[in-house]
Structure 1
């Protein structure tokens, strides 16, 4: 309980930093958001009236106080451009983003964990150098590619050249294939590498050698003795992966015109729509922090001794 309470205190402190940083960064963007929303032909009187309605004519510290009090009431503000409540915009767009993230995370783990363990078994004790060289080369190439380049490459190959998958939009199941693939490729390559290294470490432990001396079947050896002992690393990776995929979906959503919060935050930043951008940035920050705290708690439950040593 003491460990969980410490983590919750850190979460609250981190959220306070995220709230302050998101508010400050949005207001450092040059330009007048009201003029950008109303257009260049709007009269000065109309602009001033709109600024007063939104509270943008107040000193910055008063705007920040109003923003904080609104957050405590569960209000994220109102869009400068459309007049919609930010909470309504987030509620409308968030399901599309979560669909991508929660499809990509299990798929990444289902691909990476078995492949990483299989590669470790194949390349143990320096065997099959060719297999190891091919894997490290291919995975390194995939990791070196930016997400937007991977997404564009998938569109070129499967939509433009082959014409088998839709290039953009959200609709039938086929529209999910390319965005999810763009999110999965990089993390899957990274996690496969990490799982392979972790499995090689476990295979060198004394209890694995004893299990092999008992002539256990390979399936039982890996499922009962090797896989559970990679649990800590797998939990850590899965948590960081989920947080990273939710935040990294901004690029993928914009490439595939996916109607999620990632594409909406880019529109808000370009149009200087402070409340919408602040609300979505705060959402991203809160999700990443909560996932990280959840992973820490799960790791503490899985191996309490590790938390005792750390604290």
Structure 2
């Protein structure tokens, strides 16, 4: 006599296993990203320390002036620990970072953390608004150009778009800022030349930062969107006679945005770094002008801290993009069976 075993629903047995496996992969993904971030932070901290100390010149002499007595300079160097071996200075630097102590500025005598707290909001405002504007320009422009120029249509439109975007993206941020000032401030008198005095003072520095990344990202967005529009599932959607806006916005756009998000993250990092020169062009009271003056005057604590803040900003931007990619497309990012 044969015993018949009842059939078990495979979906019921495998579904919890799949969810557990997927959760484990998310945990591994998070641990990998956290490990890379910690290693990158250590490299950044070490590089910022060595870079500042390798700049020729005496920071104490620069701070006290060329007429300061030699014994005063030597006493100041001893107080700041600059006579210690480089490895000892590095260890003290790490200890200060772990306790939130960035030191005291050699030029102003104020705590570095206080100066950063005062100037960082202005830089963040500039960078965030510029990035949002770059996305607001690039995504609709790239999608529109893909729809208008796909399969050889609109040759003149494509040529105009490509040549204009290439020219804009090839102009450095600071030079673009100078051009904008010459046209809209000096020539037309519509906008303030420099400073941070009101909403209108944001327009030119934000445009100087956003136009280049927007031009690059719009070209990438167009190429990705054209590839998606020729995919099989888009042809299937057209065969079902779905409205064009549904096909373009609901089916094609999410896939094109996912592919372009990686480049957008790199552009965000470059945009954060670009604030250094743009802030100096527009006399913006942010960290950009602070980092230039601190390096010029060899203000070790201030220069190290500002370089570190900019580097951390770039690392966090790239990590955020990795997480967004994992959320939007988990199969290709963290894997799924």
TM over 0.5: yes
Shift >6 Å, 4+ stretches: none
Alignment partners' CA distance in 2, 1:165 and 1:308:
48
Question: Where does 1:57-72 land on structure 2 (aligned, <5 Å)?
Answer: 57-72=83-98
Q: Which residue of 2 aligns with 1:261?
A: 287
Between the aligned partners of 1:18 and 1:111, the Cα distance in structure 2 is: 32
Decide which moves more: 295-304 or 176-185: 295-304
SS at match of 1:227: helix
- Corresponding residue pairs, total: 310
Aligned counterparts of 1:205 and 1:90: Cα–Cα separation in 2: 49
RMSD: 1.3
Corresponding position of 2:103: 77
Q: Give the gaps of 5 or more residues in structure 1.
A: none
Q: 2:192 aligns with which of 166, 170, 185?
A: 166
**Alpha-carbon distance, 1:221 to partner:** 1.4
Q: Where do 1:100-139 residues align within 5 Å?
A: 100-139=126-165
Higher RCO structure (Cα 8 Å, ≥6 apart): 1
1:246-274 CA distance string (max 9 Å, x none) = 11100100000001001100000000001
Alignment counterpart, residue 45 of structure 1, candidates 45, 52, 71 = 71
Residue 86 of structure 1 is matched in structure 2 by: 112
User: Distance in 2 between the 1:149 and 1:191 partners?
Assistant: 20
Residue number in structure 2 paired with 1:197: 223
When normalised by structure 2's length, the TM-score is: 0.89
1:195-224 deviations in whole A, cap 9, x for unaligned?
A: 000100100101111111222222111111
Question: How big is the shift at 1:82?
Answer: 1.3
Shift of 1:5: 0.3
Measure how far apart 1:237 and its partner are.
3.5
Matched position secondary structure for 1:149: helix
- Once residues 324 and 183 of structure 2 are traced to their aligned partners in structure 1, the CA distance between those partners, rounded to angstroms, is 40
Alignment of 1:159-308 (within 5 A): 159-308=185-334
Alpha-carbon shift at residue 96 of structure 1 (Å): 0.4
C-alpha displacement at 1:233, in angstroms?
Answer: 2.4
- Distance in 2, matches of 1:217 and 1:195, equals 22
Say whether residues 1:21 and 2:51 are aligned partners: no
Normalising by structure 1, report the TM-score.
0.97
Worse overlay, 162-171 or 74-83: 74-83
The equivalent residue for 1:148 is 174
List per-residue Cα deviations over 1:267-296 (Å, max 9, x = no partner). Answer: 000000011110011111111112211211
| Unmatched runs of 5 consecutive residues or more in structure 2 | 1-26
Tell me how far 1:307 sits from its aligned partner: 2.3
For 1:76 and 1:233, how far apart are their aligned partners in 2? Answer: 39
Q: 8 Å contact 1:105–1:238 — kept in the other structure?
A: no
